[in-house]
Amino acid sequence: MDSVPKVPIDKWVEGFVAFLGEYRGELFDPIDSVISGMLTFFSTVLTGVPFFIIILLFGALTWVFGKRNTMITTVIGLSLIYNLGYWENTMETLGLVIVSALVSIVVGIPAGILCARHDAFRNLMTPVLDLMQTMPAFVYLIPAIFFFGLGEVPGVIASVIFAMPPIVRLTNLGIRQVPQELAEAADAFGSTGWQKLWKVQLPLAKTTILAGINQCIMLALSMVVIAAMIGAKGLGADVYRAISQVDIGRGFEAGLSIVIIAIVLDRITQHAGQKERETI
């Protein structure tokens, strides 16, 4: 085995990254500006609005999409976060998750549609999605730091890479599960490809797509601690600081705040999908 030359995958990857680095300004500065602007906007809005309005808003959302018990749990949980003193950092984390989820949705749903409409594109994307889901999240931080530096933007990029595959997969699955008879009926009535997509396939696949959005949000939220290692703000920074200082109490409080936000977001998106299923 010693005589067998090593496949230079590391050199190939380094060469590819170096090639992209030569065009870093043209390729990545616009992305940096857009994501930074989105983060600033959501952070300003969420931290600028009084805490009780945010609590009432989330309570109303869980009332509409969930049940009374869920609303009560949401109000109590968010009130506890405020009481513990993690409200501002929680809003920073929420902004990070929202931006990551929005970018994943904007990129992932069209990619899922292409996978559903073109088998060749699906076959090409499948190993890429497998790689994105199974590669350790820490590995994504290396090129993210190289192209975007330290801060929240590389954290968002790493979160998007980690959280986007469920959106693509479930959008593809939802469209492919639409009964063929309905698609043929749309063709018989003279629908164009776009009309069939928007008026037949996407409405019937909405429940499955919402499940993908739910998974995407949960995966993005799971990245907040890892993103804190490269300068992202929010609850992840509190957890990372507690780990560095072996502060068990502070780490538990920050972790509990992340759990509360995860439960609230999960219940809202999960019950939204259930409502959609009942409507259908």
Question: 3-state class of 261 per DSSP?
Answer: helix
Angle at 83 between CA 151 and CA 215, to 5 degrees: 50
Winning range, highest mean pLDDT, from 8-22, 88-102, 236-250? 88-102
Task: Please give the torsion angle defined by the CA atoms of residues 4, 10, 11 and 14, in that order, rounded to the nearest 10 degrees.
Answer: 180
Task: Give the tokens for residue 43.
Answer: 């952070």
User: For the CA atoms of the chain, what is the radius of gyration?
Assistant: 21
How far apart, in whole angstroms, are the C-alpha atoms of residue 43 and residue 45? 6
3-state secondary structure 192-232: CHHHHHHHHHHHHHHHHHHHHHHHHHHHHHHCHHHHHCCCC
- DSSP one-letter code for 3: T
Instruction: Name all domains of the chain by residue range, CATH numbers in brackets.
Output: 10-279 (1.10.3720.10)
Coil vs helix vs strand at 1: coil
Please say if the pLDDT value at position 67 is more than 60: yes
Half-sphere exposure of 16 (CA within 13 A, CB side): 7
Q: What is the mean pLDDT of residues 77-105?
A: 90
pTM here is: 0.83
Cβ neighbours of residue 249 closer than 8 Å, sequence gap 6 or more: none
- For 179-193, the pLDDT digits (tens) are 877 777 877 777 777
pLDDT digits (tens, 9 = 90+) for 196-252: 778 778 888 888 888 888 888 888 888 877 878 777 788 888 888 888 888 888 888
Per-position DSSP letters for 41-104, written without gaps between them: HHHHHHHHS-HHHHHHHHHHHHHHHS-HHHHHHHHHHHHHHHHHT-HHHHHHHHHHHHHHHHHH
Q: Which of 88-92, 149-153, 211-215 has the lowest mean pLDDT?
A: 149-153
